[in-house]
Structure 1
């Protein structure tokens, strides 16, 4: 990535932060109808800035794969996008992310997910009504 691309990413992130910060502390609680439209516009601007950053850091093949993943598991795609944007903003990405690099990142995200495990413990010796049927 060259300096102009990094500067564009920084500007997009700054706009995203402004959009997020401007909606919460504005103090316009009396105008709920107008505030709703403004919040939607800010949300849309933040999403556009996010997409612009992703377009700059992803090869087209990687972007396509991420789009297909979003169709199946939206949360996983969002997690990967957040991680990619963070890497870009901290300067850890030196070039566009390829599809192979995206696969590695997806594997890392999948490995980090914690799966819930349900443990059923049954009491031994508990008076069970089924035992009464066996005594007949």
Structure 2
């Protein structure tokens, strides 16, 4: 019974998403001047569409991650939101391409974080600039 209800909810959301995408695709044929001056209700539609996309994103992450990994990602999001967003994007891409077969646990998430850190790690290089001048402060002791 619960599976049937879940399938019905998913089907309804997918239909809503398709309808929202179909409605926005029709406005692409308008001239540039008309597209810029949209109706005032357009921002409300965009906000609703954005909230639906975020809801889908959360649902996908809920399906991809187990509880421990989800908690770790939430803690990372508190400290470094852009890094957490990058990890979420990576996980969603991996799930869509079929690279993830089972739920991602905390140790797998840590491995992904380490890979992202290695890719984004900047090498620190310190250069000493020693100046040699005839007018050194050490020579002023005799004055």
- Normalising by the residue count of structure 1, what TM-score does the alignment of the two structures yield? 0.69
Residue 94 of structure 1 corresponds to which residue in structure 2?
A: 101
Mapping of 1:36-115 within 5 angstroms? 36-115=43-122
Shift of 1:29: 2.0
Spell out structure 1 runs of 4+ moving beyond 6 A: none
In 2, Cα distance between the equivalents of 1:94 and 1:102? 14
Where structure 2 has 5 or more consecutive residues not aligned to the other structure, the ranges are 1-6
Alignment length (residue pairs)? 121
Larger radius of gyration, structure 1 or 2? 2
In 2, Cα distance between the equivalents of 1:35 and 1:47? 18
In 1, Cα distance between the equivalents of 2:40 and 2:69? 40
- Normalising by the residue count of structure 2, what TM-score does the alignment of the two structures yield? 0.66
Q: Cα RMSD (Å) of the superposition?
A: 3.4
Is the contact between residue 28 and residue 35 of structure 1 (CA under 8 Å) also seen in structure 2? Answer: no
